[in-house]
Structure 1
């Protein structure tokens, strides 16, 4: 069972996923996402058509040429050959760009790709095909000496940090390294020391600390626990749980994922990814869930922890607008929201597959997007008699109608 209505964001992510893996076929990517392969092909074609909108149009055939002299056909053939060459160049650029960015997202950028291939294709064509501004490229190019100077300064600082790190048997982290540098008379910002150490993998001895995504709000209006650790539901669209989890990426930063999980079908009905944990992260996820349920969550219960996002006035207003009844567990008790915690653990375990982080934000978004789509449409769930969540919902609707 596939979704009938796809948001613009879903279509864009699906096309981005296909373009990021040039070796895969449209059919294989479509199967992963649970969509019809002809539908995905149409999305890709529309995307490429939009990219070609800026290309020069082919002049009208025969303009100004004498009739019957053969010049008309010669001009048409010349124009068509030129257009074919241009399209072949664009295709070559896009193929190289896909491999280029996939190889190392942390270092490579579109501007860097333009710089490395400008002799082969020209700046104007590259900027048009990659949809970046030429003025922006030239500003980036002009700043290259300053970037190189900063890189050399960071390299010199890293050498001194390694010496301090070795002298202390690897026990110093960024705060103590900063203090040591300042004591030696070097004026340096702690954040810069932290960044240089992080980028070069210089780590002090420390206890592993869990990234905290639940920050209780002491002034929150009390909301009862309507689930009582009973994470089941008799039918879809009646009881949901949600949580925020972190997605580690390669530069030492995090993305954050907010979820809305149906307790009957185990379907992830709504989700939102952002580089922040502001309240709109969770409100966007709940709005996405409402859109997936034909715009209505009326009468449903949504259960969460006591994070500041879920106890905010903005979230309460959205719940009231959508007809959702709020439920919350006890402060500091993860077991009261175990279903959401378990889902997040499964997602990260199966997407990271033993890795500590994704190489970059784009890789993390695509991996999570692919996994969630496959989870809903294809992944067999043991609690659902090994049906996928959407297939289970479809059967539930069929049985209800038959009754």
Structure 2
């Protein structure tokens, strides 16, 4: 019997496939989901064509339709209407109708071509993809085999593992020997982390030994036992207590108070946890999922325009209580220029995908040029947007869940927007009024606002590369004034040096030194 899948399942499957790392194969993802590889490929193709979005009507405050909802007659009328307009008027028409200029161009091409059928993937292309996947798998296995062979040498030559014992005394000779074993293993194809793990060390310890000028351990002894350490008998008493019928279902945070209520004191709560951890008695057993450590997003650095974009969606109030308009805003963090925006009455990855296509065409973005950073909202991780980004050659980057500091440039921009004196005190009456106000704000922000983060030049000046000459002139005027009246300066004049790089989620200094 043929299986049927819901639209929500298809969207989630595509999102999972496009959110995985490069080393995870689509075949493995399809196997985990219990679907065929060709089926998953077909769903991804539908997402790229904006045909996989779940049905959602959004807010009922307006009858505005999405571009894909326009029928053929309406599209033809729009093409005829735009044919009599210049570029500026076309942009104004598209904004008023919730379209982009590229929609009009695409509709023209579709009418010129006439009805067409979707191309069928050729057997040769399918074969090439299979060969590429097999070659990738073969390379992976070759690397794993080479690493296993490389790790056999230190495993045989090392006398014993050091066992991750913190503070263990290691002689200078032994350190030199361990460093040589790990270095040789790395040259043979093993990873430093795996070689260190085999010898019972951490990679940071090896790095510290290599950086040290003198490897001699200055300590005379490492036998340090705290005087108040629990005896073996006391530890066994703790284990017996936590495993008893009365307390076997309780955590130490509740066992200790109950014992105190009975006038019994065995050890502190932290001692209970420490002893239980050493005996592997702290395995997660609640219904709720265990806490998962989420890694900080990868540090990004922009050294030119159109290299790193950040974007987010913010709420705009309406006259109807509980209903909002949504402002999509995309910024280039190097120049702080707002490169694209749009106001809609709903949050959909389809609308975000249209916005990114429009930005890439206007800014002439090439594949693999831009990294797009955002938070973890559903429009940001939607199947249609991820498929569009993949097609455009844009690398997605995401913040940690509920960590607004990971997307600081967009959050700061929204504060600037909502704290402008011109920001309406009352709610927006319609989508048209909201778009008109945002359009005025974007013009002011890009062309007039002297941004403090880029040495008080406008975002457009920096985006066009004019900031270097402007800042050089400011520095020259400062120096001339200082020469004419040096008593006014007690120190150096103001620094007007151009900012050459902008960091997003930079690593800590210690981590950067270790890297």
- Specify the TM-score bucket, using the shorter chain as the normaliser: 0.3 to 0.5
Q: TM-score, normalised by structure 1?
A: 0.42
Larger Rg: 2
> Would you tell me which structure has more helix in proportion to its own residues?
1
Q: TM-score, normalised by structure 2?
A: 0.33
